[in-house]
């Protein structure tokens, strides 16, 4: 379905998003999501009753998923996670690509497409 969607709409009209909860990437345990309890086991958040309590999808995982499902070049998949969403919300003048005058929010991935370094406004905020 992902491959079909991208072939029909194109990389300029499909955007990757994640609605990951704030416990994403943290160790398994019990977390509060507002007033709701989420129990995270093996990275999957659930309510005490066992229902899903949100997403734990990270953007790098979304990139890997879409690249694997479509076989598209990384540049096309990356666009769906950066410039296309910035254009959709009217922020392309400041975000979404590396150009003079933009905010210098940069993510560097390793060869397996996992986050190796993150910069916000040109400052390193995460380094593996």
Catalytic positions are 19
Selection from 5, 9, 15, 13 nearest residue 85 by Cα:
15
Whether residue 94 contacts residue 81, with contact meaning beta carbons closer than 8 Å, is answered with: no
Beta strand residue intervals within 2-105, DSSP E = 29-33, 36-41, 44-46
**What interhelical angle do 59-70 and 74-81 show, nearest 10?**
140
Residue 55: CB atoms within 10 A of its CB come to 14
Rg (CA), the chain: 16
């Amino acid at each position: 379905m992902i491959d079909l969607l991208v072939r029909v709409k194109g990389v300029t009209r499909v955007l990757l998003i994640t609605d990951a909860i704030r416990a994403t990437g943290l160790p398994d345990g019990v977390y509060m999501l507002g007033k709701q309890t989420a129990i995270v086991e093996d990275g999957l958040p659930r309510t005490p009753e066992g229902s899903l309590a949100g997403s734990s999808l990270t953007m790098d995982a979304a990139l890997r998923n879409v690249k694997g499902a479509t076989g598209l070049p990384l540049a096309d998949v990356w666009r769906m996670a950066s410039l296309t969403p910035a254009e959709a919300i009217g922020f392309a003048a400041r975000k979404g690509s590396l150009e003079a005058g933009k905010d210098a929010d940069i993510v560097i991935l390793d060869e397996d497409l996992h986050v190796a370094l993150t910069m916000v406004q040109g400052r390193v905020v995460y380094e593996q």
